[in-house]
Amino acid sequence: MTWPDAPQPPLRLAVDREALIANWRALDRLSGKARAGAAVKADGYGVGARLVGESLAGAGCRDFFVAYSSEAAELSGLIEPCNISVLHGPQSAEDAAYIASAGLRPVINSLRQAKFWYDAGGGACDLMVDTGINRLGLAMADLGDELVGGLDVVTLMSHLASADEDSPLNAVQLARWQQACAQVSSRDTSLANSAGIMLGEAYHGTLTRPGLSLYGGVPRGELAPHIRRVVQPQAMLMQVRDVAAGESIGYNATFTASQPMRAGVVAIGYADGYLRAWSGKGMMKSGTVHLPVVGRVSMDMTVIDLAAAPQLQEGDWVDMAYDLPFAAEVSGLSQYELLTSLGRRFGR
């Protein structure tokens, strides 16, 4: 049996492509003499890697970054494989062979990965040096190793741990990165993420790697005037119900109506990335009218107070109050979590 085409889901993610492109252009401009690439890992930070890649490549972006080689397939036909860097590098000999055959560029993070790459035939790659974040990255002490000396390094990069703060660690990492740049020959150099761009020209190298701010995030206050909102989650009102005074709503009865109220059951929950952190704190909107979340957020449903919007009926749509800096402050979640947790059930 052939299944008919499924109807659109009762939740959707409105993506403002013009804002996305404007954000990249702003970050490219703020990068000064360097050019800005685009981190599109984690399905374009939850926005949709293919949508993001198509939009930014069309706007002139040349450099794209994914975490794993398997993510690069989302960009096939849009971006030349040699312009896609695999940040986590080859995880095995088989992964290195795949990266080589696909024409992607691995980011070498260790001597072990360098060996994988040589055994796969080698070729152009990037090199990540750990300058103080102590995650992935080649140790500074290994820069003189003969395996490193034989690499064809396109971009020498490192990653800042505290660019969103005025931390002494920023200067420490900058000095170590500059030391690495003096030791390793490369065509490009890259240190700054979105927040790092605002630390100044010394942090830029020749290529910056914005991620969060492409999608509307503001990791440093100085970015706020330059960054536009990109995503707007929306969900359908599945049911409207009258709740009597004294009745509770949701799991564990954390909310009790103090007077008769009109409540709406909305088609979004923590399976969609609208996490339980929003319980009793979240807000949805109909136009400019705010509709507070009441009770606990469930896996697939959230209940809102409809007192301020008597016109809303079943089948109508509401917006999440999801401006990233504001939403992070209210929910206690990071702006990164707010984006990347958005589920696959959203129509985009």
Rounded CA-CA distance 300/315 in Å is 16
* Domain membership of residue 245 as a residue range: 231-340
Asked if 121 and 52 sit in the same domain, the reply is yes
- Residue 152 belongs to what H/E stretch? strand 152-157
Q: Residue 347: beta bridge partners?
A: 12
* The pLDDT value given to residue 7: 87
| Percentage, residues of the chain above pLDDT 70 | 100
| 253 part of a folded domain | yes
Asked whether the beta carbons of 82 and 124 are under 8 A apart, the reply is: yes
pTM: predicted TM-score of the whole model, two decimal places: 0.95
Asked if 255 and 209 sit in the same domain, the reply is no
Catalytic residue, from 33, 115, 203, 251: name it.
251
Rounded CA-CA distance 77/100 in Å is 17
* The pLDDT value given to residue 344: 86
Catalytic residue, from 41, 45, 215, 285: name it.
41
Asked if 146 and 282 sit in the same domain, the reply is no
Asked if 207 and 68 sit in the same domain, the reply is yes
**Confidence class of residue 295 from pLDDT cuts 50, 70 and 90?**
very high
| 57 part of a folded domain | yes
Per the structure, the count of domains in the chain is: 2
Domain finish residue from 187, 215, 243: 215
Query: Where would I find the H helices in the chain?
Result: 17-30, 41-45, 49-59, 93-102, 111-119, 146-149, 168-183, 194-197, 324-331, 335-340
- Using a 10 angstrom Cβ sphere, with 0-12 exposed, 13-18 middle and 19 or more buried, the burial of residue 242 is exposed
| 302 part of a folded domain | yes
**Confidence class of residue 34 from pLDDT cuts 50, 70 and 90?**
very high
Asked if 264 and 316 sit in the same domain, the reply is yes
**Confidence class of residue 101 from pLDDT cuts 50, 70 and 90?**
very high
Q: Which two tokens stand for residue 238?
A: 């599945």
- Using a 10 angstrom Cβ sphere, with 0-12 exposed, 13-18 middle and 19 or more buried, the burial of residue 137 is buried
Rounded CA-CA distance 226/101 in Å is 39
| 3 part of a folded domain | no
Asked if 180 and 32 sit in the same domain, the reply is yes
| 56 part of a folded domain | yes
| 345 part of a folded domain | no
Domain finish residue from 182, 215, 248: 215
Confirm whether 251 is a catalytic residue: yes
Summarize pLDDT for 46-79 with one digit per residue, the tens: 999 999 999 999 999 999 999 999 999 999 999 9
The CATH number assigned to the domain holding 274 equals: 2.40.37.10
